[in-house]
């Protein structure tokens, strides 16, 4: 299908002997804003880490833009969960954003003037230019998330894969991130976002994947984000919806 950018076929993932994902079949919409929702432990992070080739599946196939090789990852900006990043690492905000440029240059070459300009422009988009020389250890949760989105923007990828970017941040940052995502979507970018707040799914995302170890439902938010499907995914956790 032309409007599909990622296709997952019969994907199975396990940690040691414990299955984490089974029989995942999924098409992700090109130029969409897709939320991935499901209860804690549903395998949302596992699925996107497998897309990023950070986890090796037991079986299955992931095609990104029709490709399965590692080179395609250059075209994906990955924003990991905040908790997975070592924020004590001595680096300034600008250093972090410049990392977005390394996929284009390799780690050996030093950033050029143009890379710095692109990084500063990305910081401006995230209203973080005043913090460019600040150590990342000194940032608030919302500022850290802005810096990470700036890094993703500096990478200039077509696909953004984000693991709970709105977790634990202030409402101003949340609104800014959603405004930037919507704007980038109008420029042709695709978003795949692990999202925890069920009350904002309809407002923020045009497509949704509801999962719990396997896919419960996926498609346009209006059609798929129903009480029945959410109930199915969250039932075993006893969440009332
Ligand atoms: N490195 C690991 N080693 C062993 N088990 C793991 C590992 N990472 C995750 N798991 C297990 O795999 C399952 C899926 O975890 P995952 O983090 O993908 O879920 P999630 O839907 O992203 O959860 P959350 O909403 O809590 O972030 C859970 O049972 C988890 O305990």
Residue 83 Cβ inside 6 Å of ligand 1? The answer reads no
Please tell me the predicted confidence (pLDDT) of residue 2. Answer: 67
Indicate the pLDDT class of residue 106, thresholds 50, 70 and 90: low
The dihedral sign for the CA sequence 82, 83, 88, 90: negative
End-to-end, the C-alpha distance of the chain in Å comes to 34
- Predicted TM-score of the model (pTM): 0.92
Give the position, in ligand 1's atom list, of the atom nearest the Cα of 46. 18
pLDDT at residue 239 is higher than 70:
no
Least confident segment among 29-33, 95-99, 100-104, 202-206: 100-104
Pairing of strands 4-15, 59-64: antiparallel
Average pLDDT over residues 116-129: 96
Residue 46 Cβ inside 6 Å of ligand 1? The answer reads yes
> What CATH number matches the domain at 4-237, 3.30.300.30, 3.30.379.10, 3.40.50.300, 3.30.1960.10?
3.40.50.300
pLDDT at residue 84 is higher than 90:
no
pLDDT at residue 238 is higher than 90:
no
Q: Are 169 and 79 in contact (CB under 8 A)?
A: no
Please tell me the predicted confidence (pLDDT) of residue 86. Answer: 78
Residue 178 Cβ inside 6 Å of ligand 1? The answer reads no
> Does ipTM exceed 0.95?
yes
Which string of DSSP letters, residue by residue, matches 33-72?
A: EEEEE--TTSSHHHHHHHHTTSS--SEEEEEETTB-SGGG
Instruction: Report CA(115)–ligand 1 centroid distance (Å).
Output: 36
Residue 43 Cβ inside 6 Å of ligand 1? The answer reads yes
Least confident segment among 36-40, 57-61, 101-105: 101-105
Please tell me the predicted confidence (pLDDT) of residue 225. Answer: 97
Q: Are 8 and 36 in contact (CB under 8 A)?
A: no
Instruction: Find all residues with CB under 8 Å of 7, minimum gap 6, and list them.
Output: 26, 27, 28, 61, 62, 63
User: How do residues 188-215 score in pLDDT, each as one tens digit?
Assistant: 999 999 999 999 999 999 999 999 999 9
Which of 11, 14, 46 to probe ligand 1 with, by most ligand atoms within 8 A of CB? 46
Cα three-residue angle 10-233-216, rounded to 5 degrees? 35
Give the position, in ligand 1's atom list, of the atom nearest the Cα of 39. 25
Give the position, in ligand 1's atom list, of the atom nearest the Cα of 21. 14
């Amino acid at each position: 299908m032309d409007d599909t950018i990622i296709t997952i076929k019969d994907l199975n993932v396990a940690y040691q002997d414990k299955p984490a994902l089974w029989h995942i079949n999924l098409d992700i919409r090109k130029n969409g804003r897709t939320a991935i929702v499901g209860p804690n432990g549903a395998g949302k992070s596992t699925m996107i880490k497998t897309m990023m080739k950070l986890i090796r599946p037991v079986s299955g196939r992931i095609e990104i833009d029709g490709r399965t090789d590692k080179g395609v990852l250059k075209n994906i900006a990955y924003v990991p969960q905040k908790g997975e990043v070592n924020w004590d690492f001595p680096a300034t905000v600008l250093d972090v954003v410049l990392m977005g440029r390394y996929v284009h240059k390799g780690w050996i070459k030093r950033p050029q003037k143009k890379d710095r300009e692109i990084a500063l422009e990305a910081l401006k988009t995230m209203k973080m230019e005043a913090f460019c020389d600040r150590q990342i250890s000194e940032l608030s949760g919302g500022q850290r998330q802005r810096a990470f989105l700036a890094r993703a923007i500096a990478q200039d990828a077509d696909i953004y894969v984000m693991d709970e970017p709105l977790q634990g941040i202030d409402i101003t940052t949340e609104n800014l991130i959603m405004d930037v995502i919507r704007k980038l979507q109008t420029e042709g970018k695709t978003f795949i976002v692990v999202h925890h707040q069920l009350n904002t799914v309809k407002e923020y995302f045009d497509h949704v994947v509801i999962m719990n170890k396997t896919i419960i439902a996926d498609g346009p938010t209006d059609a798929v984000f129903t009480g029945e499907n959410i109930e199915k995914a969250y039932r075993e956790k006893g969440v009332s919806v």
